[in-house]
């Protein structure tokens, strides 16, 4: 009987995990299903580009996974029963069905987070999704010269969105509202370059200015002041998909699934969580931030751990760490902030056109990595050992591999 592996979500982490599993396990031994609402891979790190009218290369999953053994199920996940080991999905026609699994990879990721600010959900735009970016694109296209655009949030998404809009539409009055100082986590060199770019693009910055409410034509700031806004873009962080918190899976107060070092749920060993959906400890015990840079290594870790447990290989022990933060500041400027393993900025930073090219290569590399989840290195599909393919209704087969067991160390 085939071992049934279901991967929920096909963002960077889910798509990488599915592709990597397909290259680690023999097709005759596993039934590998990838569930996603959209038929194409979405380059989430480019949503600010899509929002200003730039066209992105289509990346259909049918082409990406052709010949790999990954079956794409285009549907929306509406529920997970971790005790019965089933997933409820609804397709575009509204038909609801149930999928049973032996191993589940939960990669539903995150969405924009309004933090409960009144009016944000009703009146602000978001670029955490392709539909959101397309709605903002249509709205920006309809703005007349001089109309105000307010970007709320001084994190990476806010910086990239504000500069992209200001560069592509210099006729608009673009401002950024930040709770702290502009780029306050960056090095001195990074902060100086960021301010130089913002000044050059004519972006007004409101620092140490929390937003307390959003209306159709303005935002209200702490203290009762208002800023006019024909368009408000909300970029104050991400919240995880709510499905996990509605299950019996052990999760945090934010809804992230608690996992061990192999990305396996501490409460349900047949479930793995990766990317934004997982509470993963990084260097120094700090939780990894929600990002592509954090998520992809967790996908590698989970896929290799699942394959090792099914085939008798050695469990992966690589700990995730950070190297840099890559920020695009329009198409002609960029900022690469080098960081410590636990994501603290150091003095070194790359700026200007070279940094913009660097960031572009990173974005292209991330998309290439989804289609090439073993990074182009040779792989060997291993057979699932007898007794490890769990029959329907039986307890999950999750014996630990011997530390001396053979392992294919190729990425």
Q: Using one digit for the tens of pLDDT, what is the confidence trace for 252-276?
A: 998 999 999 999 999 999 999 999 9
pTM over 0.85, yes/no? yes
Q: Which residues of 29-57 are buried (b: 16+ CB within 10 A; e: fewer)?
A: bbbbbbbbeeebbbbbbbbbbbbbeeeee
The answer to whether the CB of 48 falls within 8 A of the CB of 161 is yes
Token pair 């902030």 in the structure block, residue: 337
**Distance separating the N- and C-terminal Cα atoms of the chain:** 28
Instruction: For the chain, give the percent of residues with pLDDT over 90.
Output: 84
Distance CA 6, CA 106 (A): 8
Q: Whole-angstrom Cα distance, residue 268 to residue 323? A: 32
394 has a pLDDT exceeding 50: no
pLDDT by residue (tens digit) across 321-372? 899 999 999 999 999 999 999 999 999 999 999 999 999 999 999 999 998 8
Q: Which residues 6+ apart lie within 8 Å of 33 measured at CB? A: 4, 5, 6, 7, 70, 71, 72, 73, 99
Give the CA distances from residue 258 to residues 289, 317, 396, in Å, rounded to whole numbers and listed in that order: 15, 18, 19
**Confidence band for 293, pLDDT divided at 50, 70 and 90:** confident
The share of the chain scoring above pLDDT 70, in percent, equals: 94
| pLDDT the model gives residue 1 | 85
The reported pLDDT for the residue numbered 393 is 40
Is residue 310 within 8 Å of residue 408, measured between CB atoms?
Answer: no
Q: Is the pLDDT of residue 188 over 90?
A: yes
Mean pLDDT rounded to a whole number for the chain: 91
Tell me the β-bridge partners of 231. 149
**What stretches of 257-346 show up as alpha helix (H) in DSSP?**
292-311
Q: Label residue 105 by pLDDT band (50, 70, 90).
A: very high
């Amino acid at each position: 009987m085939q071992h049934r592996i279901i991967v929920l979500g096909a963002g960077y982490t889910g798509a990488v995990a599915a592709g990597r599993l397909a290259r680690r396990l023999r097709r005759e031994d596993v039934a590998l299903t990838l569930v996603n609402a959209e038929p194409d891979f979405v380059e989430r790190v480019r949503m600010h580009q899509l929002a200003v009218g730039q066209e992105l290369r289509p990346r259909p999953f049918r082409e990406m996974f052709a010949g790999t053994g990954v079956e794409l199920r285009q549907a929306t996940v509406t529920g997970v029963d971790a005790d019965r080991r089933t997933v409820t999905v609804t397709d575009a026609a509204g038909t609801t069905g149930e999928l049973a699994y032996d191993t589940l990879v939960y990669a539903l990721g995150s969405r924009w987070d309004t933090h409960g600010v009144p009016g944000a959900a009703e009146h602000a735009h978001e670029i955490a999704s392709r539909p959101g970016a397309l709605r903002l694109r249509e709205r920006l296209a309809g703005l007349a010269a001089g109309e105000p655009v307010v970007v709320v949030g001084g994190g990476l998404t806010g910086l990239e969105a504000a500069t992209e809009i200001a560069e592509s539409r210099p006729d608009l009055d673009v401002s950024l509202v930040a709770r702290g100082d502009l780029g306050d986590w960056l090095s001195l060199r990074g902060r100086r370059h960021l301010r130089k770019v913002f000044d050059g693009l004519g972006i007004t910055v409101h620092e140490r200015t929390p937003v307390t409410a959003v209306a159709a034509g303005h935002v209200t700031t702490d203290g009762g002041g208002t800023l006019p806004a024909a368009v408000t873009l909300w970029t104050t962080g991400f919240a995880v998909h709510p499905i996990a918190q509605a299950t019996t899976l052990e999760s945090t107060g934010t809804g992230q699934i608690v996992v061990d070092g192999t990305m396996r749920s501490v409460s349900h060993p047949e479930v793995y969580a990766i990317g934004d959906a997982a509470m993963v400890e990084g260097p120094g015990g700090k939780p990894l931030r929600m990002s592509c840079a954090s998520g992809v290594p967790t996908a590698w870790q989970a896929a290799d751990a699942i394959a090792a447990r099914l085939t008798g290989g050695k469990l992966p022990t690589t700990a995730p760490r950070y190297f840099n933060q890559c920020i695009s500041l329009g198409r002609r400027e960029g900022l690469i902030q080098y960081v410590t393993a636990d994501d603290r900025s150091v003095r070194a930073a790359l700026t200007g056109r070279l940094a913009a090219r660097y960031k572009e290569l990173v974005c292209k590399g991330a998309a290439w990595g989804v289609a090439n989840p073993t990074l182009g290195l040779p792989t060997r599909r291993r057979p699932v050992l007898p007794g490890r393919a769990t029959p329907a209704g039986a307890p999950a087969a999750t014996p630990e591999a011997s530390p001396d067991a053979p392992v294919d160390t190729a990425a």
